[in-house]
Structure 1
């Protein structure tokens, strides 16, 4: 299993002989760069050397920088992971609205189905879960009937209580925002590896958003964060703790199903993006593989872990 390095206290990060060295007044640790999936710098006092940043980028490791509220606010994405990025960009730009609408239909259908599964796994209302499953059967191309919003009005109160809204500034929303940001960054990293421009989305078209495409693909993965937040409601107090954040970062190792096979989220994201490439090249939206939420299996051994 690839590792995520989390820097939380006054460290200096340097590189030597393909090892990342993390030094603090109390101790020094080192990690092989080849073992790393990402580095999360959750400490505003940390110092990162340019050789370390450069070597991490060359190795395809993505680096997340967190703000004073511990939320990821920036990331380092390698620029040279794909051998023909212009070709990929040209294909993105040539996508018809009709084709993008069919991809979005599949994405939102999968999101609502995963929301229904989250309710069932959380032991919430079976009737509400069934309502979501019914809504998922009626998502139109481009979701012109706005089934996504209809599902949200049922889903969030059923999972977090009738008084809950996404507009609240509370620890539940803090957990959701942090978890979404972590998974979004994993999607961004993978899209960069496949040569995609994150600016060109399928449905998200924010003029100031450099990650529209990542936000598109993130949608079916959001219920994974929702379910974690509900399962850990007794561990959430006024603000997210270091343990809370560490566990949310660890969601990239959660087990999920894709194409009928169980795998960790980070591998599922790779296959998810790869299937998007296949769908675009063959102009067949049905080739897009969508992640399916399942109960986590702590004993699962992924053959991809080596």
Structure 2
């Protein structure tokens, strides 16, 4: 057989086996497809690593955000590095932000069960008063009113808590039943489940947050404006100019993720989650 043909066959097999292996790893971590969010031009372009430790199963994902490492969209002119006057979320352009984040292109509506497991290393350092989000439910539609984060799992006052932006971008903490303290999350996995009904009907909308099976937060009311929804995970910093020399050197942040699942029912979700 021709050497060129043999080389092509071998190359194809290597690509196929690698792709198949990556799919098996991904299914062990998530049942959602993900793509990089606003990542063009970042200093650390490969900010997601597949690791074996710490992991709930065989693998997990390690996300790294270097200090103030911003990027821009592949398509369009939005940038986290520079204000272009076209940011639908806050009424002006980007800038003053940095992220190492993935978003899910497949959108959903209505009631869902969503999970995420988070591991914070011992040396995880908060950058408050900079806003830090580690997970989001985001709405996307045909109008600016429909293009907003509806829930951001944010580091705030030493806790990791959901913040809801269901009405005109206003930040609501929901009904806090119990605080999830950052210091209690270090060096161990914390599994968070959201039971959400994403709808513009204020009488039917809700988001309930469970931590290791216990209800920590409950929000009821409008959860959207008629668009469709998707999830984001990773480290997202907003208003990084709030960090001044008073706070010292801006730190690198590392967060580990597992159990990134979304299903129609609690029963299906619990079958996927690894403890």
Shorter-normalised TM-score: what interval?
under 0.3
Q: Larger % of helix: which? A: 1
Q: TM-score, normalised by structure 2?
A: 0.26
Q: Larger % of strand: which? A: 2
Q: TM-score, normalised by structure 1?
A: 0.24
Bigger relative CO (Cα 8 Å, ≥ 6 apart): 2
